[in-house]
Amino acid sequence: MRFFLCLELICLQQRTREFNYLSESVTSPWMLNLKQLIQTNKMASVQLPWKLRLIYTACKLIVNLSRRRDDTINRRLQSLTDPKTSPSKTPRNGVVSSDTVINSSKDLWFRCYTPTTTTTSAAAAHGGDDGRSLPIIIYIHGGGFAIYSASSTAYDSWCRRLSGELNAVVVSINYRLAPEHRCPTQYEDSFDTLKFLDENLDKLPANVNPKLCFIAGDSAGGNLVHHVAVKASEYEFSSLKLIGLISIQPFFGGEERTESEIRNSGGLLLSLEDTDWYWKMFLPDGSDRDHPAVNVFGPKSSVDISRVKYPSTLILIGGLDLLYDWQRKYYDELKKAGKEADLVEDPNAFHGSHMFEELPGSALFIQGIRDFMGKQMNKENY
């Protein structure tokens, strides 16, 4: 009991620190309204199973302690929150996995997940003349561009689940991290992986269909999905055909403080203070949050998305995510530019909650992805 009381005290102290940070960083007059100030702590009322709450509290504390004052990360300490899982040739939940190195000097590699059983209906619906049947999802993990990897247990479990439940080959990219490697390194590593796969189909399972290719990612990975897709629009792939983008609670922002950033500033897995810190670690020195990498439709963006050959996009968002307004703006701007965009919204989802299979919203996101992929694959007449 004493242990749990200590954790609750730590959690309360963290909330207080985040609340103080919000008060100092937001100066708009309506922030002085006491009722709205109280609403900023709304996330504290979110009910989680005790085990998840325990994991969250401990991880939050360690991640915060790993941030050094000189704007570097204590990797040894941070690794305590990021256990690793090895690939497995033995099926786990009906999925096998293996690692392939692209460039060892850059620590650029990917983990490939393949379902061990393929339904007859899937093969009939999506199989080409050469017998290739499975779609491929090129997945880019989140973590504020600064933490996690393709071997992180959390992402190994998530990608394995996607592969098994969506009956798809999933390729999870391991890219270099900030602040040791700042923007645009992560974009370059992700795009280089696409080019490698395009030129080396033999590194993929024999029954994958490269003409049914999706790029997906969550949080910072969702940001990477956007920028990689823009870059891919200018490249002639010989084998891969990008038919859809899947952006799960993408990490966008700007200098403006939005209503959802204020309302949900003390997020369970991501706070306003966290987002500012991640952007500072990621962006080139001297940049602000209106940098085109952050605010993709902002005042400094030079890309006219209406002129880009941009694939159909699914955006999945949560009502308790402090990035909700930026994600909703992203969807609206794509629609305004004449692009095909679908939206799945879970009003009770907080940032990163899709990773927890125990939470009902996780299944909602999986179903949304399944429906979107089916719609895009049907367009290809397979």
User: What is the C-alpha separation between 176 and 61, in angstroms, rounded?
Assistant: 24
Angle (nearest 5°) at CA 37 between 35 and 40: 115
Distance CA 232, CA 346 (A): 30
Q: Is 321 designated active site?
A: yes
What string of DSSP letters covers 113-142?
Answer: EEES---HHHHHHH--TTS--EEEEEEE--
Whether 306 sits among the annotated catalytic residues: the reply is no
Catalytic residue among 274, 321, 325, 346: 321
Write phi, then psi, for 83 (nearest 5 degrees): -65, 150
Distance between CA 189 and CA 195 in Å, rounded? 10
Q: Answer for the pair 175, 189: CB distance below 8 angstroms, yes or no.
A: yes
For residue 67, the number of C-alpha atoms closer than 13 Å in the C-beta half-sphere is 17
Q: Of 351, 353, 354, 362, which residue is the catalytic one?
A: 351
Asked if 126 is an active-site residue, the reply is: no
Q: Which of 219, 247, 353, 362 is catalytic?
A: 219
Is the backbone of residue 236 left (phi > 0), alpha (psi -120 to 50) or beta? Answer: beta
> Which residues, including other chains, have CB under 8 Å from residue 164's CB and lie 6 or more apart?
93, 94, 95, 115
| 198-202 own/partner pairs: CB under 8 Å, 24+ apart | 198/237, 198/238, 198/239, 198/240, 199/238, 199/239, 201/239
Q: Are 377 and 212 in contact (CB under 8 A)?
A: yes
By annotation, the residues acting in catalysis are: 219, 321, 351
